[in-house]
């Protein structure tokens, strides 16, 4: 038998889903929604949701891009010097303006991309949810219940490891966002552990509440 809320396999005689905590009628089809057993009991206080961490895309995640732009800029300058020396007799008047213009355009694009990512990507972790908002003019917000998060990993490239940034990979039973990548996370190791700890605490809290019912 499957739980209709998270699609996890449950025992036929189980009263509650071991994955999401939804109440299951013994010997009948499982139900979901307000009667799923996740609401507070009469007289029981509801735990308020509080923020644990907020962040945005870190420009340090683009260190590799800055290094590449610096190398290309040096190569363009060196090429301009070499060509200017070789073709001095021909008098190439536009050589340096073209080289400088190319360098300026590359850096403007790189800085613009970094600013766009910083301003358009926002992350928030609360005691109950993970919220991912992206976009400037058209904004999209994704929300995942921490109790639905199944696994949390993070990955870093060689340069990213030097600066402590990386990408957090969230695997969940949420149908709309089974895989969610949080890119450009500063202190990625600490943030990954923070999300995992919050997920475990929320699952224990829901588990204790279910057992109390």
The answer to whether the Cα torsion of 111, 112, 113, 118 is positive or negative is positive
Contacts of 1 (CB under 8 A, 6+ apart): 9, 10, 11, 12, 14, 24, 30
For residues 130-144, give the mean pLDDT. Answer: 88
The residue written with tokens 């029981």 in the block is: 44
At residue 30 the predicted structure's pLDDT band, cuts being 50, 70 and 90, is very low
Burial class (CB in 10 A: 0-12, 13-18, 19+), 62: buried
Q: What angle do CA 204, 209, 213 make, to 5 degrees?
A: 145
Length of the chain: 213
pLDDT of residue 174 exceeding 70: yes
Of 38-47, 124-133, 172-181, 193-202, least confident by mean pLDDT is 38-47
pLDDT of residue 169 exceeding 60: yes
Q: What is the pLDDT of residues 31-89, one digit of tens each?
A: 444 434 444 544 444 568 888 999 889 888 888 889 999 999 999 988 888 777 656 54
User: What are the respective helix, strand and coil percentages of the chain, to the nearest 5?
Assistant: 40, 25, 35
How distant is the alpha carbon of residue 64 from its chain centre?
Answer: 19
Predicted TM-score (pTM) of this structure: 0.64
Among candidate residues 106, 142, 146, 150, the one with its CA nearest the CA of residue 126: 146
pLDDT of residue 91 exceeding 60: no
For residues 181-192, give the mean pLDDT. Answer: 91
């Amino acid at each position: 038998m499957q739980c209709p809320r998270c699609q996890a396999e449950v025992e036929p005689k189980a009263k509650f889903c071991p994955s999401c905590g939804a109440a299951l009628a013994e010997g009948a089809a499982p139900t979901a929604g307000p009667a799923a057993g996740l609401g507070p009991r009469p007289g029981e206080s509801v735990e308020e949701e509080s923020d644990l961490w907020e962040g945005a895309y870190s420009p340090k995640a683009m260190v590799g891009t800055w290094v590449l732009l610096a190398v290309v800029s040096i190569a363009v300058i060196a090429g301009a010097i070499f060509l200017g020396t070789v073709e001095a007799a021909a008098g190439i008047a536009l050589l340096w303006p073209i080289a400088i213009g190319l360098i300026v355009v590359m850096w403007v694009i790189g800085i613009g991309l970094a600013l766009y990512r910083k301003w358009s990507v926002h992350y928030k972790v609360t005691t109950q949810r993970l919220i991912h908002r992206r976009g400037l003019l058209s904004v999209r917000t994704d929300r995942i219940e921490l109790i639905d998060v199944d696994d949390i990993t993070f990955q870093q490239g060689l340069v990213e490891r030097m600066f402590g940034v990386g990408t957090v990979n969230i695997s969940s039973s949420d149908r709309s966002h089974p895989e969610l990548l949080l890119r450009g996370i500063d202190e990625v190791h600490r943030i990954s552990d923070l999300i995992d700890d919050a997920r475990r605490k929320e699952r224990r809290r829901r588990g204790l509440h279910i057992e109390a019912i």
